Amino acid sequence: MILFLHNRYRRSGGEERAVADLLWLVREQLGEDAELLERDSALLGRGRAAAGMLRGGLRPEEVARAVRATKARVVHAHNLSPAFGWRALAAAREAGARVVAHHHQYRSVCAVGICFTHGRECTRCHGRNTLPGVIRNCRGGAGEAVVYAAALSLWQRRAAEAVDAAIVPVDTSRLDTAAGVLGDAIAHGSLLQLGAVILNILGTLILVGGSAWSAYRLIRDHGGVDRVVCNVLLTAGAFVIAAGFSAAKLAGGSLDTLGVYEAVGIAVMFAGFLSLGRLRRPAAR
């Protein structure tokens, strides 16, 4: 049994979908029982949310009871702010479960979680120094900014000590490197990497295969020359672009190589579009 913990955001988004997808994956693909213990920021109220942040979580005993009731061997924690906090993790461990913290973003150090404020990227807060978030009023209100900054600084180490393993799908230190852009920033073997590979393969098959099939049908049915040429060039251009990532990796993570392949592929595809209406079969005599 795996018990998921998640504090829903005021507005549902990608993290809620990720939790639902992981629940489905565990149940349907791993064949393991899974339950979700969920709290909702939209129903909590600002006063209770502030109390939860500053206390390091609300009602940790509820988490311990859930672990014992479900006999969970693993607690898979997602967003913990503001209602769960580090106390929920500690309670889960005391109840006998192993704890995995799944970091979807930068909530452990950033008050807004995305390292983006006032229209640009921001990495001013480091470790327990969350004062820049107060100075820049990242939460949009002085009171909320102070509460988040204080809570993150107070409980950061406790949260880290309360987990047995942490999942960070993206290595942010590699996002500024060529290898990171080409996919090495994603943890190898993670669900994110698997999803990226599958979606890239499907996208390539649909684009390249669809264009190739259309070209074949037009040739077989004696369609217009311009339409045949257009689909052939679309197929060739899409294949060149798809091959660009592999070629760039073989070249040692070269973005220049990727750029050349993309430029050539786009030019070939554009030539295909330009051919429409410009090529005609010679008139029979």
pLDDT tens digit sequence for 19-54? 999 999 999 999 999 999 999 998 988 899 999 999
Q: Which band of pLDDT confidence, cut at 50, 70 and 90, is reported for residue 237? A: confident
User: Taking all residues of the chain, what is their mean pLDDT, rounded to a whole number?
Assistant: 83
Query: Are the beta carbons of 198 and 207 closer than 8 angstroms?
Result: no
The dihedral sign for the CA sequence 268, 269, 274, 277:
positive
Tally of CB atoms within 10 A around 87: 22
pLDDT of residue 76: 96
Q: Which band of pLDDT confidence, cut at 50, 70 and 90, is reported for residue 254? A: low
Q: What is the pLDDT of residues 57-73, one digit of tens each?
A: 999 999 999 999 999 99
pLDDT of residue 13: 85
Q: What is the pLDDT of residues 211-231, one digit of tens each?
A: 788 878 888 887 778 888 888
CATH C-level class of 2-168: alpha beta
Give, in order, the Cα–Cα distances in Å from 126 to each of 152, 166, 273: 11, 18, 50
Intervals of CATH 3.40.50 along the chain: 2-168
pLDDT at residue 285 tops 90: no
pLDDT of residue 99: 96
pLDDT at residue 171 tops 70: no
Q: Which band of pLDDT confidence, cut at 50, 70 and 90, is reported for residue 140? A: confident
pLDDT of residue 123: 84
pLDDT at residue 164 tops 70: yes
Q: Which residue has the tokens 């489905």?
A: 24
Q: What is the pTM of this model?
A: 0.59
pLDDT of residue 72: 95
Q: Which band of pLDDT confidence, cut at 50, 70 and 90, is reported for residue 252? A: low
Instruction: Please give the residue that has the higher pLDDT: either 167 or 16.
Output: 16
pLDDT at residue 188 tops 90: no
Tally of CB atoms within 10 A around 194: 12
Burial 235-257 (b: 16+ CB within 10 A, else e): bbbbbbbbebbeebbeeebbeeb
